[in-house]
A and B are shown apart, each in its own frame.
Chain A
Amino acid sequence: MRYRAVMRGQDDKRRTRPAAHELARYEALFAARTRGMKSSAMREMMALTERTDVISLAGGLPDTSTFAPELYAKLMAKVAAESTARALQYGPTEGMAATVGCIVEVMAREGTLVDPSEVIVTTGGQQVIDLACKTLIDPGDVIVAEAPTYPGAVPTFSAYEADVEQIEMDADGMPIDALESTLDRLHAQGRRPKFIYTIPNFQNPGGVTMSLARRRRLVEVARERELLVLEDNPYGLLRYEGEALPTLYSLDAEAAGQSGSSDLVIYLGTFSKILSPGLRLGWAVAPRPVLEKLNLGKQGADLCSSPVTQMFVSAYFNERDAHGGPAWIEYVQRLRDLYRSRRDVMLEALTEHFGEGASWTRPQGGLFIWATLDQRIDTTDLLALARENEGVAFVPGRAAYVDGRSGASSMRLNFAGSPESDIREGVRRIGKAMREQLGLLGSLTGVGTPAGAAAPASEEEPAGAADASAQHPVTGHTREGAPPSAAQAGRLADVVALPRRDDASSARRRRDR
């Protein structure tokens, strides 16, 4: 390694003083933007959840064990037999034509018609986020995102030194009036966002879906103000109930008229959730000038995405099921059935185990539920406790906020990647750790405060104080402990607001280990 070579070159162990500080030397070499690249303590803690004795509801994982090994072997054999040389060769930056054909097919399934020449195949959907930032963001440029937002986008935004404005969502996704006030405020400061980042379907991590009215309005606002929208749609086909809604891309294309192409939406898709994240294949559909820049950016990043996996995909899309229909559609249907019942199991388990002051979203699709606890609980700490004492993991809400501070009382739970028994047990364990913290809060509240300090610490009083605050389900991000307004109570719903199940003394009993 180069580092070693340098050290050996100065093979003088007893030198009295290093020519330059060995440590400061590296720091001086790092680009200024790396200062924003944080590997947070929380992330490091999450790395510890890979232990086998930990039930992890933290991942963003689909369940790849559902894909038949025989089919995988057959497809790889087919690729090998028919096109080894091509599979092992570089491919075009924009992707192989056959793979683009599959992408057009997937999008058509969601009712979005696209011109194959406006598609670029990428290395996972994540690369689209990276390329969008790489081509659009100068340090300090504004990106508008949802709050909470996709935790995986946060490090990307930070790496490009974007200034991220997050808009709190409610049950119908990003409220467009709140978006407009933010845009107005920015406009008054002479600033204009480079793009609006949204996950309209079964948002990660919020689990909510942007309503049709808001989709239409978002497209109008984007057109009025000439703003780009990055539409991240990894889960659109994983809908477990309700009517599919049109993509922002298709709404904008409709508004744009004759061409049939959108002029303001960069669409991000991926094979990760409908087939496999291990393939590392995603795509972007974008207005041609943007597409050209994305292509240039990708040339610098990795020249092309893997032809091996691209050919796997195109071979797979030629497979037929028993009825002669496309096998991939049947597979997605199976995933939908599997994930729907896992979602239902998690919702049930939450009702059973998350009594006190918790609320959560009821997603119509996707992989995630977003749960919000008593505002005095910090889920980063809860994760430390739950991981250590109970052997369970989730994503703390802070990960979904660029400031790393908001969302402290919320958590993201994945229901798609674990068997039902693990989901039940995992939620039970989190509930146990949470009740432990609530019990402790109950014992402390009302005694340590000036108001309560004078009163003797009776058995019931502190618990009563805890109850009072616990009855305010923190459905949104009420910070002041005020009773939630109707609007707040509806935030990030379809919220199941739960009745309190028990009094403090039984909470205390359960705390006994």
Chain B
Amino acid sequence: MTAGKRVAVLKGGHSLERAVSLRSGAQVQDGLQRLGHEVVAIDAGAELVPQLLEADADAAFIALHGPNGEDGIVQGLLEAIGLPYTGSGPAACMRCTDKLLAKYLMREAGIPTPAFHALREASIKELGAAAALASVERALGFPLVVKPAKGGSALGVKFARTSDELPGAMVGAFSYDSTIVLERYVEGRDLAVSVLDAPGGAPDGASGGAPAPDGVAARASALPVVEAVPRDEGFYDYESRYEIGMTTFVCPADLPKETTERAQELALSVYELLGCHGVARIDLMLEQNSGELWVLETNVVPGMTATSLLPQAADAAGIGVEELVERILSSAFTR
């Protein structure tokens, strides 16, 4: 279906996740080449659009993480120059990348997401928002998680164990974005469910993914659940997320059947709710005490590095790297 295409692989860029993106891009390039596609690798810098125009590609494969690549900016540009591209469109990208917007949407739709409040840096100065902190603290309790509203990197994600630690944590998170989310800390197991459109957008039972639940378009399926177990004591941070060996991944996660199904159902609902296309990875927590599942966030350009969760989940579903790359590529032509 997509054989012998000329594909521009967009990677790198200037975001904090540049290094990860370069590794994702390299893995994608390898896959595309083994599939017989012609690859034009582009490091997304100041010359991105001219390079794209010159590349004369059939499609763009987006392997960019972070601002520009994941937030709809590059997607919008690709639409402007009429080049088909992989993954979600600009609106879905915006909804997912803005964790705050995504959480509001999930809350409205009745999808469980940990309790939260947001703060804009400007509102502290202009509206005296700091005075709201005491009631936020009471509502969310400690420890609580403070994170920049945008940005997939775990840099900037802070934990405040006490009231005293909160201002420092907030200032840290504000270093990455002018809006931050304060969220109830869910103690438990760290799960991720990747969702993949069926080949050609058609229902797909053969690839090992769970079929979409009723009421959700049957175009996508959820891959087996991955559990990330940090090897280091403490929090699952940026380092452990991306460096081989720092985290043990278990896939499929050792969960009761109902929990697995519930996690996959939730992931598909979120995928649908936020309007994702092609592929996405939904991160969840399985709360230790209650056994409840909570959706944290959705990544529209999941990592494709050797240790990334999406390739592992696909692998567990019997989908090798090449087939995964091919399926994501085909999403450029099924929009």
CB contact list, A1-44 vs B, under 8 A: 3-4, 7-8, 13-18, 21-23, 26-27, 30, 34-35, 38-41, 44
Cα of A298 to Cα of B321 in the assembled complex, Å: 40
Q: Give chain B residues whose Cβ lies under 8 Å from the Cβ of A448.
A: 130, 133-134, 137, 163, 166-167
CB A334 to nearest CB in B, in angstroms, measures: 37
Which residue on B lies nearest to A444, using beta carbons? Answer: B167
Cα of A474 to Cα of B314 in the assembled complex, Å: 50
Tell yes or no: A447 within 8 A of B by CB: yes
Checking A7, A41, A440, A456 against B155 with a beta-carbon cut-off of 8 angstroms, the contacting residue is: A41
Q: Are A508 and B315 interface neighbours, CB within 8 A?
A: no
Q: Give chain A residues whose Cβ lies under 8 Å from the Cβ of B170.
A: 440, 444
Q: Are A23 and B130 interface neighbours, CB within 8 A?
A: no
Tell yes or no: A449 within 8 A of B by CB: yes
Which residue on A lies nearest to B133, using beta carbons? Answer: A448
Q: Give chain A residues whose Cβ lies under 8 Å from the Cβ of B306.
A: 23, 26
Known: A7-B34, A457-B131. A376 touches B168 (CB 8 A): yes
Q: Give chain A residues whose Cβ lies under 8 Å from the Cβ of B112.
A: none
Instruction: Report whether over half of chain A's contact residues are helix, strand or loop; otherwise say mixed.
Output: helix
CB B153 to nearest CB in A, in angstroms, measures: 7
Interface centre among A15, A26, A447 (most CB of B within 10 A): A447
Known: A44-B16, A47-B18, A376-B171. A444 touches B156 (CB 8 A): no
Tell yes or no: A110 within 8 A of B by CB: no
Tell yes or no: B259 within 8 A of A by CB: no
Contact with A along B11-29 (1 / 0, CB 8 A): 0001010111000000000
Q: Are A377 and B171 interface neighbours, CB within 8 A?
A: yes
Tell yes or no: B239 within 8 A of A by CB: yes
Known: A26-B244, A381-B175, A437-B171. A449 touches B163 (CB 8 A): yes
Q: Are A23 and B312 interface neighbours, CB within 8 A?
A: yes
Q: Are B167 and A376 interface neighbours, CB within 8 A?
A: yes
Tell yes or no: A227 within 8 A of B by CB: no
CB B332 to nearest CB in A, in angstroms, measures: 19
Known: A21-B315, A376-B168. A447 touches B156 (CB 8 A): no
CB contact list, B120-152 vs A, under 8 A: 121, 124-125, 128, 130-131, 133-134, 137
Q: Give chain A residues whose Cβ lies under 8 Å from the Cβ of B34.
A: 4, 7-8, 13
CB B229 to nearest CB in A, in angstroms, measures: 14
Q: Give chain B residues whose Cβ lies under 8 Å from the Cβ of A17.
A: 318
CB A395 to nearest CB in B, in angstroms, measures: 16
Cα of A39 to Cα of B305 in the assembled complex, Å: 15
Tell yes or no: A188 within 8 A of B by CB: no
Q: Are A445 and B245 interface neighbours, CB within 8 A?
A: no
Checking A41, A376, A382, A447 against B130 with a beta-carbon cut-off of 8 angstroms, the contacting residue is: A447
CB B121 to nearest CB in A, in angstroms, measures: 7
Tell yes or no: A45 within 8 A of B by CB: yes
Q: Give chain A residues whose Cβ lies under 8 Å from the Cβ of B20.
A: 44
Cα of A99 to Cα of B133 in the assembled complex, Å: 65
Tell yes or no: A443 within 8 A of B by CB: yes
Cα of A441 to Cα of B154 in the assembled complex, Å: 22
Tell yes or no: A71 within 8 A of B by CB: no
Cα of A453 to Cα of B306 in the assembled complex, Å: 48
Tell yes or no: A417 within 8 A of B by CB: no
Tell yes or no: A385 within 8 A of B by CB: yes
Cα of A249 to Cα of B252 in the assembled complex, Å: 58
Cα of A22 to Cα of B128 in the assembled complex, Å: 53
Known: A448-B130, A449-B163. A16 touches B176 (CB 8 A): no
Q: Give chain B residues whose Cβ lies under 8 Å from the Cβ of A384.
A: 16, 155-156, 175-176
Known: A16-B318, A41-B153, A376-B168. A440 touches B124 (CB 8 A): yes
Q: Give chain A residues whose Cβ lies under 8 Å from the Cβ of B134.
A: 447-448, 450, 453
CB B143 to nearest CB in A, in angstroms, measures: 14
Which residue on A lies nearest to B155, using beta carbons? Answer: A41
Tell yes or no: A320 within 8 A of B by CB: no
CB B23 to nearest CB in A, in angstroms, measures: 11
Cα of A393 to Cα of B99 in the assembled complex, Å: 28
Which residue on B lies nearest to A409, using beta carbons? Answer: B168
Cα of A384 to Cα of B174 in the assembled complex, Å: 10
CB A58 to nearest CB in B, in angstroms, measures: 15
Q: Give chain B residues whose Cβ lies under 8 Å from the Cβ of A7.
A: 30, 34
Q: Are B245 and A27 interface neighbours, CB within 8 A?
A: yes
Q: Are A38 and B243 interface neighbours, CB within 8 A?
A: yes
Tell yes or no: B172 within 8 A of A by CB: yes
Q: Name 21 A/B residue pairs within 8 A (Cβ), A-sorted.
A: A7-B30, A13-B322, A27-B244, A27-B245, A27-B307, A39-B243, A41-B154, A44-B16, A45-B155, A378-B172, A380-B155, A381-B171, A385-B174, A385-B175, A440-B124, A440-B171, A441-B171, A443-B125, A448-B137, A448-B167, A453-B133
Given contacts A38-B239, A38-B246, A47-B18, 12 further A-B contacts (CB under 8 A): A13-B323, A15-B320, A378-B168, A381-B175, A440-B174, A444-B130, A447-B131, A448-B133, A448-B167, A453-B133, A453-B134, A508-B125
Chain B residues near A (Cβ < 8 Å): 14, 16, 18-20, 30, 34-35, 121, 124-125, 128, 130-131, 133-134, 137, 153-156, 163-164, 166-168, 170-176, 231, 237-239, 243-246, 306-307, 311-312, 315, 318, 320-323
